[in-house]
Amino acid sequence: MTSPELAEEVLDDPELLRARDPRGLLPAVAGAGAQVRETAALTAEAGLGRVTDAGRPRGLVVVARREGAVAASVLRALLGPGSPVTVDVVPGPQLPVWMGASDVVVIATRTGAGHYALAPAYEAARRGVAVVGIGAEGAPLHAACASARAPYVPLPPSRVQHTTLWSLLTPMLRLATDLGLLSAEAADTDAVADALDAVAADCGPVVPTYANPAKMLALELLDALPVIAAEGPLAAAAAGRVADQLATLAGLPATAFRLPDQRVAACAVLGGPLAPAEADDFFRDRTDDEGRRLRLITVRDAEAGGPEGPAEREPRSASEALHQVLRTATERNVPVSGLAEQGDADGVPRLARVARQVAAADFAAVYLALALDAERAR
C-alpha cells in the first residue's frame, strides 16, 4: 500500500503529476467552470426553440449512461416530486414504448456515437418524438439529429472522458428552464461555473497538500473504505458521481447511502464489523494494517427538505438522519470527511453548493489515481 508520505511527495510535484496524467484529467477537472460557460454558449446556439416552442411535453426521457445518467439524476432531483412532467432516465438503445409526439427525448453522450445513442435517435424520429442531442461535434449522432432537424449541442474535441458531467448537464438545465420546469435561479449555470472555479482555485495542482482539501482527502482515502452519506435526493445524485469516480479512476470501491430512507443501512455499516475498534491515527505505521478502514464521506444539501411525515421516533428528514449517521460514526471511531465545507455557503444557490462538493470529490479521485499511478498503468 502506498504510504501517505510517498503519496504526498507525488501530489506536490507538478512535473510528476503531469507525467502520470497522460489523458489530462487534472486540467480537464480544473477547467470545469470554463466547460460550463462554453457549453452554455453552444446550447444557446443549438436552437432549442425547435423543441420548446411546442410547449410543455407530457414526458421527458434522458437516454444516457455514466456521466450523462448522473446529469439526468441531478435534473430529476432539482425538479423533485412536484414536477409537472414525468422525467425518466434510460440507458438505451430502446425508448420507452409509451413515448410519442407529445414527449421529448434528450440523448446525452460525450462521444455522440454508439448504438445506444443512435438507435433511439432514429426511433424517436420515426415516432415523431422531439429530440435534443448532446455529443461530440461531427459525430454520428450529430448527423442523425441534423437529418431530423433536431437541435444538437456539439461538444468540442477537448472534452476528456470522465470529466464531462457539466457539459452534459448544462444543456439539460437550459432545456428545463425553457420548458418552464425550472426557474432561472435554480438552473443558474453562471453560479455553477463560479463555484467550480472557486474549487479549482482551492484544489488545483499548484496548491500544496497542507492547504489543498482535495489532496488531503486523497491521502485520507489511501487506506480507506469509503461510506458516502447523502443528505437527500440531490446529494444522492452527487454521491453516485463520487462513488463512480472513485471506482473508475482509482479502483476504490465506495458505497453510497441516500438519507433518510437508507439511514438504517448506513448506521448498520458504520457500527458493524468493519468499524475500527479504536480511533484512527493518521501517523500510524501502515505496515501493521490488516486492511482498509471505514471512512464516512458526507454530501450535504441543506435544502433537501423537511420532515417526510408526522413526528415519530424514527428520523423523517434527511438532516435528522444525517446527524444520526454522524453520531454513529463518532461513537464507533469512524473518521469523517466533509466535501467542500470550507467555503461560505450563504447566498450560494443550491445546485452551486452541490457542484462544489462534486468538484472537490472529482479532484480527490484524480489525485488518488495519480498517487497510485493508476492512470499511467492503463
Q: Hey, what domains does the chain have and what are their CATH numbers?
A: 4-23+193-377 (3.40.50.10490), 29-187 (3.40.50.10490)
Question: Is the CB of residue 239 less than 8 Å from the CB of residue 293?
Answer: no
Q: For residue 98, give the amino acid letter.
A: W
Q: How far apart, in whole angstroms, are the C-alpha atoms of residue 54 and residue 44?
A: 18
Residue pointed to by grid coordinates 425508448: 95
For CA atoms 43, 125, 76, 159, the dihedral sign is negative
**pTM summary value:** 0.92
Residue by residue, pLDDT tens for the chain (378 residues) are 678 888 999 999 999 999 999 999 999 999 999 999 999 999 999 999 999 999 999 999 999 999 999 999 999 999 999 999 999 999 999 999 999 999 999 999 999 999 999 999 999 999 999 999 999 999 999 999 999 999 999 999 999 999 999 999 999 999 999 999 999 999 999 999 999 999 999 999 999 999 999 999 999 999 999 999 999 999 999 999 999 999 999 999 999 999 999 999 999 999 999 988 766 555 555 555 567 899 999 999 988 865 544 434 455 799 999 999 999 999 999 999 999 864 556 678 999 999 999 999 999 999 999 999 987 766
For CA atoms 106, 301, 363, 188, the dihedral sign is positive
Asked, as a colleague might, if the bond just before 260 is cis with ω within 30 of 0, I would say: yes
Q: How far apart, in whole angstroms, are the C-alpha atoms of residue 98 and residue 121?
A: 16
CA distance between the termini of the chain: 19
Question: Is the CB of residue 225 less than 8 Å from the CB of residue 253?
Answer: yes
Q: How far apart, in whole angstroms, are the C-alpha atoms of residue 353 and residue 89?
A: 24
pLDDT at 287: 52
In the sheet with 130-136, reading across from the earlier edge strand, the strands are: 86-90, 59-63, 104-108, 130-136, 152-155
Question: Is the CB of residue 220 less than 8 Å from the CB of residue 295?
Answer: yes
